[in-house]
C-alpha cells in the first residue's frame, strides 16, 4: 500500500495510531467514483430514471456529453464536433442519422442508441433505444443505484460512534469461521459478547 500527500509533521506515533485504528475499527469499503461514471450525468442518476421506466429522460442523460474540465488540454476539433452533435440531437436540432456521422469511435453507447433512433421517422422509441444497449450496459445503471444506496447506508450506519464496534438490529453478522461461505459480504461486524445475540 502506498500513502501519498501525508502531512509533513506526521510522527511515527500518528502513523501507528492510524494503523491500529484500521486494525480495530476497520474502514468503510465504499464503492469508488469509477462506479458512478464520467459522463454528463452520474450512472446512478440515470439508473433512477431507468427504474422509473423514464427511458426518454434516461437516454437524454446517457447521450449528454460530460462537461469539459478546466485545466485539462483542450479537446480536438473532432471531439468538439461530436459533443455539439450530441447536444443538438438532444435539443432536437439535429436528427440521429446526421449526429452519428460526427461521433468518435469511442462513443459506442451513444452510437448504438442513435442508430436505433435513426431507424425511426421521429426519435420517439425511447424504450427501444435504451434496450438496444447490451444487457451488461443496461444493468450498469441499475447496479450504480445499488452502489449509491450502499454508500449512503454505510455512512448512516457508521455515523453513530457508540455502535460502530457492535452489531445492531439489521446488521449482517458473520462468524469468522463462516465467512468463506459468503461470496460477497457488505458489512461485517465482529461478533463479540452481548452483540452476538442481535438478530
Predicted pLDDT of residue 189: 42
Predicted pLDDT of residue 190: 40
pTM above 0.85, yes or no: no
Q: Which residues contact 108 (CB under 8 A, 6 or more apart)?
A: none
Residue with the three cell numbers 509533513: 8
Q: Which of 65-74, 119-128, 166-175 has the lowest mean pLDDT?
A: 65-74
94-107 CB burial, b ≥16 within 10 A, e <16 = bbbeebbebbeeeb
pLDDT at 145 over 70: yes
In terms of Cα–Cα distance, which of 165, 158, 164 is closest to 192?
165
Nine cell digits for residue 108: 459506442
- Tell me if 35 sits within 8 A of 150, measured CB to CB: no
Predicted pLDDT of residue 52: 95
The span from the CA of 197 to the CA of 199, in Å, is 6
Nine cell digits for residue 115: 442508430
Cβ burial, residue 122 (10 Å; 0-12/13-18/19+):
exposed
Nine cell digits for residue 20: 491500529
pLDDT tens per residue, range 52-76: 999 999 999 999 998 876 556 667 8
Amino acid at each position: 500500500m502506498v500513502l501519498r500527500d501525508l502531512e509533513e509533521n506526521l510522527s511515527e506515533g500518528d502513523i501507528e495510531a492510524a494503523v491500529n485504528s484500521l486494525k480495530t475499527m476497520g474502514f468503510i469499503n465504499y464503492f469508488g467514483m469509477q462506479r458512478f461514471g464520467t459522463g454528463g450525468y452520474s450512472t446512478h442518476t440515470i439508473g433512477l430514471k431507468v427504474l422509473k421506466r423514464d427511458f426518454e429522460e434516461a437516454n437524454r442523460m446517457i447521450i449528454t456529453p460530460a462537461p469539459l474540465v478546466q485545466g485539462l488540454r483542450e479537446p480536438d476539433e473532432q471531439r468538439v464536433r461530436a459533443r455539439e452533435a450530441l447536444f443538438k440531437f438532444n435539443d432536437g436540432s439535429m436528427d440521429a442519422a446526421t449526429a452519428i456521422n460526427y461521433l468518435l469511435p469511442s462513443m459506442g453507447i451513444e452510437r448504438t442508441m442513435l442508430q436505433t433512433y435513426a431507424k425511426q421517422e421521429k426519435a420517439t422509441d425511447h424504450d427501444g433505444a435504451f434496450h438496444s444497449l447490451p444487457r451488461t450496459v443496461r444493468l450498469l445503471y441499475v447496479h450504480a443505484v445499488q452502489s449509491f444506496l450502499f454508500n449512503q447506508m454505510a455512512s448512516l450506519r457508521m455515523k453513530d460512534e457508540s455502535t460502530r464496534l457492535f452489531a445492531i438490529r439489521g446488521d449482517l453478522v458473520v462468524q469468522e469461521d463462516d465467512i468463506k461461505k459468503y461470496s460477497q459480504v457488505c458489512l461485517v461486524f465482529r461478533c463479540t459478547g452481548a452483540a452476538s445475540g442481535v438478530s
